[in-house]
Amino acid sequence: MLTHIDLFSGVGGFALAAQWAGFRTIAFVEIESYPQSLIKKHFPGVFLFEDIKNFNWKGECPTLITGGFPCQPFSSAGRKRGTADDRYLWPPMLRIISQIRPTWVLAENVINIGNMVLADCENDLEAEGYEAQSLDIPACACGLSTMERHIWIIASLRSEFLEGYGKECLSRVRKIHSCKRRTNHNETQGFPPIPDLSLPKLCRSRKGIPNWVERHRAIGNAIPPQVAYEIIKEIARIEEATA
């Protein structure tokens, strides 16, 4: 069984992508109350921890750890204080990775991290014995109607990661960088039907749209699960081929 721990879970975008790829999520870490309520609703019975700074996992070692660590220290819309920002939470994520030592790590952040600490993150993972690389994949490459770009950091303990079958699998991920001919990607690639985030179907009440601020904040902090799925399904292929 392929297993998964999701850090900085938000509304569960990584967990959804992992589920599509055949992984079972065994733990979440999320501090915000509204995303917590959605995780409890859609993933009942899965361990949910609140503070990543105090998170210490004592259960089974997962195949994969994911995490979209906070982007505010790097976002072009902010002050770009980087490691001086108190929301810089890569070190706690690295601590968890070094303690649990999953076979795979997949992290996500905004495009501007490439101008700030991306090389440091990759070096940190390599110091822990992982082979690491990063990919720049726009959301529109997987059928979403937005050009928003994300940096995806992929790391593995497997020597096959950059060789043989692993190299072949990840080359397929690189081919989705272009947004050309991707308008029907969801249908042609067999993704489960989900609403486009740019056209949300929100239920109204007499008092307006429930949890309006929380919903917008959650969407703003969410990852595009379609892109994460492309990467995680290739991780599943590698695991299957090397089992």
Instruction: Report how far residue 230's alpha carbon sits from residue 232's, in angstroms, rounded to the nearest whole number.
Output: 6
Q: Please name the residue that has the structure tokens 């952040």.
A: 109
Q: Determine the pLDDT at residue 193.
A: 46
**Which pLDDT does position 186 carry in this prediction?**
45
CATH code of 60's domain: 3.40.50.150
Domain count of the chain? 1
Taking CA atoms, 41 is separated from 15, 44, 80, 104, 193, in Å, by: 13, 6, 35, 27, 19
| DSSP state at residue 195 | -
Could you say which of 61, 71, 142, 169 is catalytic?
71
- pTM: predicted TM-score of the whole model, two decimal places: 0.84
Structure tokens at 208: 């307006």
Burial category of 84 from C-beta neighbours within 10 Å (exposed 0-12, middle 13-18, buried 19 and up): exposed
Separation CA 233–CA 146 (nearest Å): 22
Parent domain of 182:
2-242
Amino acid identity at 48: L
Query: Residue 196 CA to chain centroid, in angstroms?
Result: 18
Specify the pLDDT at position 82.
Answer: 80
Would you state the pLDDT for residue 160? 66
**Parts of the chain with a pLDDT under 70:** 147, 160-164, 177-210, 212, 216, 220
Does residue 71 have an active-site annotation?
A: yes
